[in-house]
A and B are shown apart, each in its own frame.
Chain A
Amino acid sequence: MAFINLKEKIIQAKIVYYGPGRCGKTTNLEYIFSQCRGQVQSEMVSVKTDGDRTLFFDFFPFDMGKINEYDVKIQLYTVPGQVKYNSTRRLVLKGVDGLVFVADSASDRRASNVNSLENLQENLALYGRDICSIPLVMQYNKRDLAQQGTEVLELETLEEDLNRRLKAPFFEASAVEGLNIVPTLKKIVSSTMAALEEELR
């Protein structure tokens, strides 16, 4: 649940980018950070391993300023995608308000995507949360791989594998090119805020 201080008029929402290892979660955040650098007074915190993989999580807080007298703060997190870091993923999911599931479009990552989504569902269940009741945006990343001759999964396949039941809004994206990264963010932020508003009513 978001941190909401009615007296001080502060709303703080936590959005987590989830997905299999090397699907581009950190690249998403890095792109977002690069796009708003200079307008948002905060830094991205990233803890990497030697191999430049996310060891613990990436964290990028940004302040949206005052909106209808409320100070709105958004905290973006990623989780380490590797299977062995499940306890960390659980920890980062605590108190999550919105989720972006980043799927890897490469054909050979099909099973990883499904496993990661199932893992997300299980980890949310540990907190008594239902994946269907949390604002969620699907992002099918690495669509640019097709232009490089790498076999990618068809959009229909990704939808069938990951979004058949959830029917969440989705974006085809390329984090390295910045394609649809910001629209994904905009969508999840507005969905999350709408959900919080609904919850407060």
Chain B
Amino acid sequence: METNKESPFVREIENRLNALFGEEAGRAAPKSAEIKIAAGNAGNDDAGGGKEDRVAGFAEKGGSPVTETVGPDRNADVLQEAADERGGKEDRFEKIFGALTPSRPAPVSPLKDLKSIILSLEWEIDDSILSKFDEELVRLDGTFSNDQVVLGFLRILRFLGRYVRVRGTEADPGSVLLLMSAYDDLERILLSLDMTVAERRSIFLECIRKYREWADGIDLDKGGEKADRAGAAAEPRHDAAAPAPASDEKAEGAGEHLPAADSEDKPAAALPPAKESAAGMEEILAAIRGMTPHEAIAYAVADMKKTLREEMESLRGELNVRK
């Protein structure tokens, strides 16, 4: 795809790339200088020599490649541009775009990392990605500790992530869709600068409604039995779903109160951050050490069910309070 005369937009793209990567980035030092730069019509790159480079013109409608010959004049232009740029004699950006709005880097989204993980989940769901997902949600919990709506979304996402992780291939397909939908809503409320509090709340309540609808339609016990049959595979998953035992009671009470800052902390405590979950795992391993494999699995499954129920109870309670 090449155009003889680059538009201002494309030139600006090239300038931005130069700004990001540098004019000479990628050029190897002396050893590799022997390798000729064989770029057919390389635009702002150093075009090779005086030979005629032929490039494909992909923009033409109809599909077949149309070639155009880059003649000596064009090459001379390219070489002149490159020479000017190397010598610092010309600031292409100012010359060409001086009248345009000054460019500025895009603002950094607080959901940048979470979005990367969500995009990964769209392609493939595995334990390591779900583990990163969980860790990122814990981190965001701290970042948005004063925003009840965001915390509510994070709780829903965390529960869904853990549900998928615990259930693995047995997870209800709707859970992933709901997770994506909840993320979209969260992104919307966080990135829309002019959204009112009422609008944010309305979006959140709608998300809770969808969550509740989904939760009412799934059978946790049925999944638990399947997980039981999955045998040893359930054991490592237990880590993600199991709360630290000392925090269980807090989680049970969380749904009975208006989710003010304090009460919001409770479920966060019930779902310990990565560091604490490692300690929790050790406790669980100690507890099951003397058990037969069957007993250990039963223990893990029972604990998992308990956690899932608690989370759902908590969210239902929250929904009732908000109504």
Chain A positions within 8 Å of B, measured between CB atoms, are: 31-32, 35-36, 39-43, 45, 47, 56-57, 59, 61-69, 71-72, 91, 98, 130, 132-136, 143-144, 147, 155, 165-172, 174, 177-187, 189-195, 197-198
Contact = CB atoms under 8 A, between A and B. Distances in A.
Contacts of B39: 169-171, 180, 183, 187
Interface of B: 1-3, 6-10, 12-14, 16-18, 20-22, 25-28, 31-32, 35-45, 53-56, 58-59, 63-65, 67, 100-101, 103-106, 108, 112-113, 116-117, 119-120, 123-124, 126
A78 B273 CA distance: 33
Contacts, number: 192
21 contacts: A35-B21, A41-B108, A56-B124, A57-B123, A61-B119, A67-B12, A72-B16, A133-B58, A168-B56, A169-B42, A169-B53, A169-B55, A171-B37, A180-B27, A180-B35, A181-B26, A183-B39, A183-B45, A186-B21, A190-B14, A198-B3
Contact of A178 (B28, B106, B120, B123): B28
Given A147-B31, A180-B27, A180-B37, 19 more contacts: A63-B105, A66-B104, A67-B13, A68-B12, A130-B63, A134-B58, A136-B1, A166-B65, A167-B55, A170-B39, A170-B40, A171-B38, A171-B42, A179-B27, A179-B28, A185-B17, A186-B43, A186-B45, A190-B17
Nearest to B62: A133
Contacts of A155: 38
B33 to A, nearest CB: 9
Given A36-B21, A183-B45, A144 B32 contact: yes
Contact of B42 (A32, A39, A134, A187): A187
Contacts of A39: 20
Contacts of A98: 1
B113 A43 contact: yes
B6 A132 contact: no
Q: Which 7 A-B pairs have the closest CB atoms?
A: A182-B26, A135-B1, A179-B28, A169-B40, A195-B1, A191-B1, A130-B63
